[in-house]
Amino acid sequence: DIQMTQSPSSVSASVGDRVTITCRASQGISSWLAWYQQKPGKAPKLLIYDASSLQSGVPSRFSGSRSGTDFTLTISSLQPEDFATYYCQQANSFPPWTFGQGTKVEIK
């Protein structure tokens, strides 16, 4: 199975900060990668798919990029509603599909 290694596990940041989360795939997945946001007690929400495509309705301060098997989620200017846990997920052609361990974005 493809393993997804996400870092950091947590990050403390202030409103207005630029936040970057990374995810590394254990093997090539092309651009089959998604990013999700999850708030406590709620279902995950799709933010980014195909590594860099913004899901409809998601603010443009969220962006994604790829370099080989390394993927990055960037929040350009952190807003109060962005404090949450973020997960990457590989969506390679066939299952099983796997998630990263998650990154908790906390208030500094």
Partner 1 sequence: EVQLVESGGGLIQSGGSLRLPCATSGFIVSSNHMSWVRQAPGKGLEWVSVIYSGGSTYYADSVKGRFTISRDNSKNTLYLQMDSLRAEDTAVYYCARSGNGPGYFDYWGQGTLVTVSS
Q: Residues interacting with partner 1, by CB under 8 A?
A: 1, 32, 34, 36, 38, 42-46, 49-50, 53, 55, 87, 89-92, 94-102
> Taking the complex as a whole, how short is the minimal distance between the CB of residue 70 and partner 1, in angstroms?
19
> Taking the complex as a whole, how short is the minimal distance between the CB of residue 93 and partner 1, in angstroms?
8
Listed in order, strand segments (DSSP E) in 1-108 are: 4-7, 10-13, 19-25, 33-38, 45-49, 53-54, 62-67, 70-75, 85-90, 98-99, 103-107
Question: Of 17 and 45, which CB lies nearer to partner 1 in the complex structure?
Answer: 45
